[in-house]
Chain A
Amino acid sequence: MGKCIISEAHAIDYVYGELDPSKMDEYKEHLMTCNNCTRMVNSFKRVLQLVDDAEGVYAHNISMPKNLQSKLYRRINAEDPVETTIASKFTSTISNLLTLMNQQKATVFSLFIVVVIGTTFFLTDPFQYIPTYKENVDDTAHVKIQEYRQLEIQRNMEDVLRNRHLRNSNKWDRVSQLNRVKDQARGTDWATIAHQHLKSVHSEL
């Protein structure tokens, strides 16, 4: 006898008591005439009965874990994100990190090294040439420049004053020379000196 495809589809519904009532009579009639289906349904029923008997003993004897509810509320209180403060978040992050470090030491260490190298590359150019004593060189050059500038101003000022004695008659030349020195010496003491000399020349004019 071949397989009863429709009947096989109904077998599960039937043994589970979920067969559509409109099909029930028809299926029962079929079972009365089909040995294969009857055997299958009976076998399914026996399997379920075996399972149910074993399950009955098993379920009856399962001991529930103690204080499940209080454990749940403890966990809810501990992990409630609404009530977490920045401090508790920080603490939990640190503790999570420590746990992770304990569990995955090698991974965390490698990650740390990668982060350090990455940060170094991002913030600085590790291949950039950094001259030794760069700052000192700059400072020295600046001081030297200032010194040369002072000397130049001093020399010009001396020229103006020396010319005063040599060419006492041409005061307008002196005025223009003093103005040049004054401009050149702007921001230094020589500018004040030049200004005083200019004043005295103007008073002579």
Chain B
Amino acid sequence: MDKLIDDEILVKQFQSGSQRAFDELMKRYERKIFGYLLRSVRNYEDAEELTLEVFFKAFRALAKWEPKAKFSTWLYTIASNLSIDYHRTKTRHPVYVLEDEDVLETRVVANDLSSNPEKQIEDMERGRIIREAVDELSSKQKEVFMLTRYEGLPIREVAETLGMAEGTVKIHLHRAMKKLQTLLRPLMENNEI
């Protein structure tokens, strides 16, 4: 299917009965949504389960969906809500998974054996420090930061996705940046970049 077709046109096609249109939408967003959820929940299997849930909900609701916002914004809203629910449930019923992060790292390494292992380990270590720093942010700061930086959404769309005012998003973002600045100071001072 033509990549240049707008998401909204694909949605219309799906609403007219074309399942291939949904397949195309899923192909476009599954990596993004999975990546977003993986960063948010830090567990591969849970992220996969939540990604399925996002597309399942989208499939169900898409028939009646009206393009008040962009399709991607809507999809991220579903993902964001599921991620919030996930963290809420985890807080209420904590499940202690051993070395979750290591499992994730193994998958990451296993996917790219051709590169320089030393560099890869160095990158991984730096990545770990940065991810831990991002995890230190408050839930709202983290959501806002992830959506803007990792998902590349403009501030206006982040505001729509999270149901906040643009000004509030900017405040969270500013605080997130200040905190990251403090947490990542050792990396910056070591001329790591």
Chain A positions near chain B (C-beta within 8 angstroms): 8-9, 11-13, 15-16, 18, 43-44, 46-55, 57-65, 68-69, 71-72, 75-76, 79
CA distance A18 to B155 in the complex (A): 8
| In-complex Cβ contact of B150 among A55, A64, A68 (8 A) | A55
B38 shortest CB reach to chain A, Å: 7
Which residues of the partner chain A approach B180 to less than 8 Å between Cβ atoms?
Answer: 47, 51
Number of B interface residues, CB 8 Å? 44
List the A side residues contacting B6 at CB < 8 Å. none
B125: nearest chain-A partner, CB-CB: A54
In the complex, B41 has a CB within 8 A of chain A: no
Contact indicator A64/B34 (Cβ below 8 Å):
yes
Instruction: Give the number of residue pairs across the A-B interface with Cβ within 8 Å.
Output: 103
Q: Is there an interface contact between A72 and B181, defined as CB atoms closer than 8 Å?
A: no
Task: Pick out which of these stretches binds chain A: B67-75, B83-91, B105-113.
Answer: B105-113
Prevailing SS type, chain A contact patch = helix
**In this assembly, does B23 line the interface, its C-beta being within 8 Å of a C-beta of chain A?**
yes
Task: Give every chain B residue within 8 A of A18 (Cβ-Cβ).
Answer: 154-155
Among the listed A47, A57, A68, which residue makes an inter-chain contact with B181, where contact means beta carbons less than 8 Å apart?
A: A47
A153–B38 alpha-carbon span in the complex (Å): 97
Residues of B26-76 whose CB lies within 8 A of A: 26-27, 30-31, 34-35, 38, 44, 48, 51-52, 55-56, 59
Asked if A46 meets B188 with Cβ closer than 8 Å, knowing A53-B193, A63-B107, A68-B52, the reply is yes
